[in-house]
Amino acid sequence: MPLPLAKRAEKDPVRPGGVPLDAAQVLAFRRRLINWYRTNARQLPWRGVNDSYRTWLSEIMLQQTRVAAVIDRYNEFLTKFPTIVALALATEADVLASWSGLGYYRRARMLHHAAQFIVREHGGKLPSTALELRTLPGIGEYTSAAIASIAFGESVAVVDGNVERVLLRITGRPEVATAAARSFVQAQASALVPRRRANSQGNPPGDHNQAMMELGATICLPRAPLCTQCPVYGLCKTRGEHLTPVRAPQRSLPASYLLSLRKRGIITEVLLEKRPDHASLMPGMYELPQLPEAVVEGREPLLRLRHAITNTNYYVRVFAARGPRDRTLRKAVPIAEGVLHWVRTSRLGAEPLTGLARKALQRLDVMQVRPVRIDAQPDLPEEVHLPRPAGTADEWNDDDFDEL
């Protein structure tokens, strides 16, 4: 009796199947993909620009984040920091405040550090090759290849989670976390990239890499891929979902927070906790003060929401005092007085808030919600750049992809 697919993958993780495309198939794949991309590519503000800084910024912002959320922040960020020099001269607090809501705040810190490094070591000019780009803080293999090919036309393959999924399905290979599997995907991606560099006629490597990511983000979806709309369906050996590893089960934990407001004349302030500068997650950022679960027993929360970090679902409740004489919750906040700050509600948009704090304050009408501006793209899912392999992250998304 044959082994189930999962058992076969465990038994032979080095050679789990999969056949590389031959030379004729490579040419056919490139042609079909780029023709599809030229007709179906979404109009996004970072596409078609002649500014490597904008390409770099977009690639960092799109990691693990919805394109709709990125567009608004991208435009606002460029308004405040229009050049690498402007970003380098900014304070970290200003950079984090402009990044607030995108999550993964380590990305913003590394972007800021890299801008300072570029100004100090490269005269404010972004390096133009993938190898040189790898020397910058916060830029790894994927990001360096994306910038080098899209902004400078270098013939180098870009492999994120979306591209990896396309290549595994095209070659009929299951997903296994081995060096041999990663090497196979990288080799296949490299074989597909056009060898011609960018010229006055276009940018074949950059366009190809963007087309690969677009295909994975909008057609070759993790679940229920749109195979009948795929331009390379005739070359695909899977034609549907591919075998993936069993995911670790999510844990569920409660988390309770305090909402405390006060008036000073016509000014309204909210009590926030500032995370320590040496904290491993989101250092120096503001959040609502956390409450012990025992003290909120029997109380009705103002707000309930779900938030997820890595493999843990937090079921969050926000509480407020029952009246001016109810000091129970305020006294129960288990942190030192020095890390609590009263912040004007009118200034919340300029402060580095955690995504959870921002979401809760907006849903409680304490903080203004800014609408996201995005051109309609009917029937196309949101683009999310998935890292490969997944790196260390500050925080993860919740059910509607807002981040902590």
Rounded CA Rg of the chain: 24
The answer, yes or no, to whether residue 187 has pLDDT greater than 70, is yes
How far apart (Å, rounded) are the C-alpha atoms in residues 363 and 370?
12
Q: Is residue 377 a contact partner of residue 42, using CB atoms and an 8 Å limit?
A: yes
Rounded distance between C-alpha atoms, residue 215 and residue 233, angstroms: 11
pTM of the predicted protein model: 0.71
Instruction: Give the mean model confidence (pLDDT) for residues 33-60.
Output: 95
The predicted model gives 166-192 an average pLDDT of 91
Written as six digits, the tokens of 275 are 């995370």
pLDDT of residue 310: 67
Tokens of residue 307, six digits: 């938030």
In this structure, the number of other CB atoms found within 10 A of the CB of residue 278 comes to 7
Q: How high does pLDDT run on average in the chain? A: 84
Answer whether residue 190 shows pLDDT above 70: yes
Please report, for residues 16, 184, 217, the alpha-carbon distance to residue 175 in angstroms, rounded to integers and kept in the order given. Answer: 9, 11, 17
CB 295 within 8 A of CB 333: no
- Domain 5-235 sits in CATH at 1.10.340.30
Q: Compute the distance between CA of residue 173 and CA of residue 184 in angstroms, rounded to an integer.
A: 10
pLDDT at residue 324 greater than cutoff 90: no
Q: Over 80: is that where the pLDDT of 201 sits?
A: no
Catalytic residue among 59, 141, 273, 383: 59
Residue 17 pLDDT grade (very low, low, confident, very high; cuts 50, 70, 90): low
For the chain, the structural domain boundaries read 5-235, 251-363
Q: Is 351 one of the annotated active-site residues of the chain?
A: no
Rounded to an integer, the average pLDDT of 240-260 is 84
pLDDT at site 345: 93
Please name the fold of domain 251-363.
Nucleoside Triphosphate Pyrophosphohydrolase (3.90.79)
pLDDT category at 230 given cuts 50, 70, 90 is very high
pLDDT value of residue 325:
85
More confident residue, 200 or 271: 271
Is residue 68 pLDDT above 50, yes or no? yes
Q: What pLDDT score does 200 carry?
A: 66
Please give the residue that has the higher pLDDT: either 339 or 308: 339
286-287 and 267-274 as β-strands: parallel, antiparallel, unpaired? antiparallel
The strand pair at 340-344 and 290-291 is best described as unpaired
The mean pLDDT of 261-289, rounded to a whole number, is: 90
HEC per residue, the chain = CCCCHHHHHHHCCCCCCCCCCCHHHHHHHHHHHHHHHHHHCCCCCCCCCCCHHHHHHHHHHHECCCHHHHHHHHHHHHHHCCCHHHHHHCCHHHHHHHHCCCCCCHHHHHHHHHHHHHHHHHCCCCCCCHHHHCCCCCCCHHHHHHHHHHHHCCCCCCCCHHHHHHHHHHHCCCCCCCHHHHHHHHHHHHHHCCCCCCECCECHHHHHHHHHHHHHHHCCCCCCCCHHHCCCHHHCCCCCCCCCCCCCCCEEEEEEEECCEEEECCEEEEEEEECCCCCCCCCCCEECCEECHHHHCCCCCCEEEEEEECCEEEEEEEECCCCCCCCHHHHHCCCCHHHEEEEEHHHHHHCCECHHHHHHHHHCCCCCCCCCCCCCCCCCCCCCECCCCCCCCCCCECCCCCEC
Query: Distance between CA 11 and CA 395 in Å, rounded?
Result: 33
Distance (Å, rounded) from C-alpha 284 to C-alpha 286?
A: 7
Lowest model confidence (mean pLDDT) among 166-175, 195-204, 373-382:
373-382
The answer, yes or no, to whether residue 64 has pLDDT greater than 90, is no
354-383 tens-digit pLDDT: 888 988 999 999 987 665 444 444 343 444
The pLDDT of residue 135 is above 90? yes
Q: What is the mean pLDDT of residues 251-275?
A: 93
Residue 286 CA to residue 105 CA, distance in Å, equals 12
